[in-house]
């Protein structure tokens, strides 16, 4: 048993649902909008009245192609629509239009970043387009309502191969996908609004970890498919919970706890319990009875169309993971810094343009992750959108490098610049924040600080414990008299001279 436990390897595949940010729904002209009063964006098509005819939204297909190409998938020449039969209150049509055997994108990959500067390639099985279902509303005391505003919103489902081997890889993949679809501008991927949802398929491989899927070398525990997770936290919690659960089951049941014996199961995550619960097993599995959608023509993707999307993708430029790597290798940023600056395209572009304008990367990064991050946090926006431009930022960074302003003054200038079109150099001048390293000027402030603080001076002379603190205090006083403009090194040098140390 002990040996077996040592050889338990999580095997995880992800299905990710992404609502596309088109103006209108996928098969009708209703608005694709979250948060409006229930059932205000509905029509005979999206509520499934008999005889209503769907018309394909070309933008939804193009957004999906863009994601497919960004994931290094093949976008085939021919894809079609299929009906997937369901019977749910939030789907009054009793079927969902989806893609069964001929999806829009197949066989790609995404290279995800891992701790320690590592990268792992995760294969993408497919990405297909479908329509979202409505939403049951449980706000009423004695009944459940159905809001069909969501019904018919284009939903891209991306499916990975079972290549993920631990929670870290799952989370990196999920975050990378989140970043990618926002970067491409095809989804807001706001998880609180349900615009991105995860369904992990989780099992453990018990056996030779070098020979996963080789039946002579081991076996799988039952695959748990956990439905509809709408936060990173619940995804992380779910994966860890299921792995722990399977380990406990193996300890109790041994080889009887296997995929062959138990089959695949659907589970759900209960937020309030912080745990998963059983939904249904294989024997109750749905028969979706897929068949080709008779009301929609197949989608023919010719070379010209594919190339048009490829060109659009080229215009987006380098994608986030590639940028992250470049920041690590070329700019020598830490993983945390590189990650923070590639959260969104606006912030990353601001960095890149500032460095292209001749600023030192480290200076740019420190400014953005210092005052920049604080202001973004206050204003509830991304760092790239706080209002400092790719002309102002390099200007400020260069002043720092040249010693024309010190760090304290730079922060003050930064705070002014975000609400102004002026160049930092101008602001530094008008606000009197230019660094003063002129010894004469600083000596005046030093003399003033010494005259005003006899106790601190005494403490410095007395030596011992209080000395360091008193010296720091006096340095601070001089900096304050200079309104932050004095060069700290110069201040300390002159103070030391004056105090005879
Ligand atoms: P289904 O048709 O039941 O949804 P699929 O074969 O299409 O099953 O796979 C769905 C997901 O399950 C994919 O993300 C795939 O990577 C994952 N998967 C396949 N085999 C395993 C396994 N042994 N353990 C965990 N996940 C798996
Ligand atoms: Mg599935
Ligand atoms: Zn509609």
Within 10 A of 131 (CB to CB), how many other CB atoms are there? 26
User: Of 20, 19, 28, 82, whose CA–CA distance to 53 is shortest?
Assistant: 28
In which band, very low, low, confident or very high, does the pLDDT at 440 lie, cut at 50, 70 and 90?
A: confident
* Residue 242 near residue 203 (C-beta atoms within 8 A): no
pLDDT for residue 422 is more than 60 = yes
**Separation of CA 105 and ligand 2 centre (Å):** 17
pLDDT for residue 1 is more than 60 = no
- The CB of 221 under 6 Å from ligand 1? The reply is no
pLDDT for residue 245 is more than 60 = yes
CB neighbours of 120 closer than 8 A, spacing ≥ 6? 111, 112, 114, 163, 169
**Separation of CA 227 and ligand 2 centre (Å):** 9
Q: Indicate the top mutation candidate among 108, 162, 220, 265 to test ligand 1's pocket, ranked by most ligand atoms within 8 A of CB.
A: 162
pLDDT for res 285:
58
* Average pLDDT rounded to a whole number, residues 351-374: 94
Residues of the chain with CATH 1.10.10.410: 439-499
Closest-lying ligand to the alpha carbon of 43? 3
Atom of ligand 1 nearest to the CA of 15: 14
- The CB of 201 under 6 Å from ligand 1? The reply is yes
Token pair belonging to 177:
């996908």
How do residues 55-110 score in pLDDT, each as one tens digit? 999 999 999 999 999 999 999 999 999 999 988 888 988 999 999 999 999 999 99
pLDDT for residue 296 is more than 50 = yes
- The CB of 12 under 6 Å from ligand 1? The reply is yes
- The CB of 162 under 6 Å from ligand 1? The reply is yes
User: Of 293, 284, 295, 345, whose CA–CA distance to 320 is shortest?
Assistant: 345
Closest-lying ligand to the alpha carbon of 149? 3
* Average pLDDT rounded to a whole number, residues 423-445: 86
**Separation of CA 159 and ligand 2 centre (Å):** 9
37 phi and psi angles, rounded to 5 deg: -55, 145
**Separation of CA 24 and ligand 3 centre (Å):** 9
* Average pLDDT rounded to a whole number, residues 215-226: 94
- The CB of 212 under 6 Å from ligand 1? The reply is no
Q: 439-499 sits in which CATH class?
A: mainly alpha
pLDDT for residue 5 is more than 60 = no
pLDDT for residue 286 is more than 80 = no
In which band, very low, low, confident or very high, does the pLDDT at 233 lie, cut at 50, 70 and 90?
A: very high
- The CB of 491 under 6 Å from ligand 1? The reply is no
In which band, very low, low, confident or very high, does the pLDDT at 465 lie, cut at 50, 70 and 90?
A: confident
- The CB of 11 under 6 Å from ligand 1? The reply is yes
* Residue 224 near residue 267 (C-beta atoms within 8 A): yes
The rounded percent of the chain whose pLDDT value lies above 90 is 72
Element (H, E) at 15: strand 8-19
Question: What DSSP string runs through 35-97?
Answer: SSSTTSS--TTTTT-TT------HHHHHHHHHHHHHTT-B--SEE--EEEE--BTTBTTSEEE
How do residues 300-327 score in pLDDT, each as one tens digit? 999 999 999 999 999 999 999 999 999 9
* Average pLDDT rounded to a whole number, residues 383-412: 91
Alpha helices in 295-438 (DSSP H): 303-316, 320-329, 335-341, 345-356, 361-367, 373-379, 392-402, 407-417, 424-430
């Amino acid at each position: 048993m002990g040996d077996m436990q040592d050889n338990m390897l999580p095997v995880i595949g992800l299905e990710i649902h992404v609502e596309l940010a088109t103006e209108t729904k996928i098969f009708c002209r209703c608005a694709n909008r979250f948060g409006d009063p229930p059932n205000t964006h509905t029509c005979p098509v999206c509520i499934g009245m008999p005889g209503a005819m769907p018309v394909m939204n070309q933008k939804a297909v193009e957004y999906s192609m863009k994601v497919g190409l960004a994931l290094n998938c093949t976008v085939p020449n021919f894809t079609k629509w299929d009906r997937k039969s369901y019977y749910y209150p939030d789907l009054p049509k009793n079927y969902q239009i989806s893609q069964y055997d001929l999806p829009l994108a197949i066989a790609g990959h995404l290279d995800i970043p891992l701790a320690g500067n590592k990268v792992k390639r995760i294969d993408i099985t497919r990405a297909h387009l479908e329509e979202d279902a409505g939403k049951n509303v449980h706000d009423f005391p004695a009944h459940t309502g159905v809001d069909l505003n969501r019904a018919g919103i284009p939903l891209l489902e991306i499916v990975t191969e079972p290549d993920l081997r631990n929670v870290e890889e799952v989370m990196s993949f999920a975050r990378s996908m989140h970043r990618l679809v926002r970067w491409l501008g095809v989804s807001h991927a706001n998880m609180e609004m349900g615009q991105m949802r995860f369904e992990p398929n989780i099992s453990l491989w018990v056996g030779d970890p070098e020979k996963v899927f080789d039946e002579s070398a081991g076996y799988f525990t039952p695959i748990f498919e956990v439905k509809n997770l709408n936060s990173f936290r619940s995804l992380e919690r779910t994966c860890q919970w299921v792995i722990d659960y399977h380990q406990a089951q193996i300890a109790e049941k041994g080889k009887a706890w296997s995929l062959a014996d138990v089959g695949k199961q659907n589970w759900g995550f209960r937020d309030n319990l912080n745990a998963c619960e059983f939904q249904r097993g294989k024997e109750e599995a749905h028969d979706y009875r897929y068949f080709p959608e008779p009301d929609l023509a197949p989608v023919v993707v010719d070379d010209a169309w594919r190339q048009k999307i490829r060109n659009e993708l080229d215009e987006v430029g380098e994608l986030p993971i590639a940028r992250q790597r470049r920041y690590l290798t070329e700019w020598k940023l830490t993983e945390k810094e590189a990650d923070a600056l590639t959260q969104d395209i606006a912030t990353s572009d601001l960095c890149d343009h500032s460095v292209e304008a001749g600023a030192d990367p480290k200076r740019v990064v420190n400014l953005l992750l210092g005052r920049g991050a604080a202001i973004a946090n206050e204003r509830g926006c991304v760092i790239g959108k706080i209002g400092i431009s790719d002309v102002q930022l390099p200007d400020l960074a260069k002043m720092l490098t040249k010693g024309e302003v010190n760090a304290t003054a730079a922060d003050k200038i930064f705070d002014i610049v975000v609400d102004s079109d002026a160049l930092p150099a101008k602001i530094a001048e008008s606000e009197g924040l230019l660094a003063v390293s002129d010894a004469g000027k600083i000596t005046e402030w030093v003399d003033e600080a010494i005259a005003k603080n006899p106790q601190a001076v005494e403490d410095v002379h007395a030596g011992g414990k209080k000395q360091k603190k008193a010296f720091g205090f006096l340095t601070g006083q001089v900096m304050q008299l200079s309104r932050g403009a004095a060069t700290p090194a110069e201040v300390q040098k002159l103070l030391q001279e004056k105090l005879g140390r």
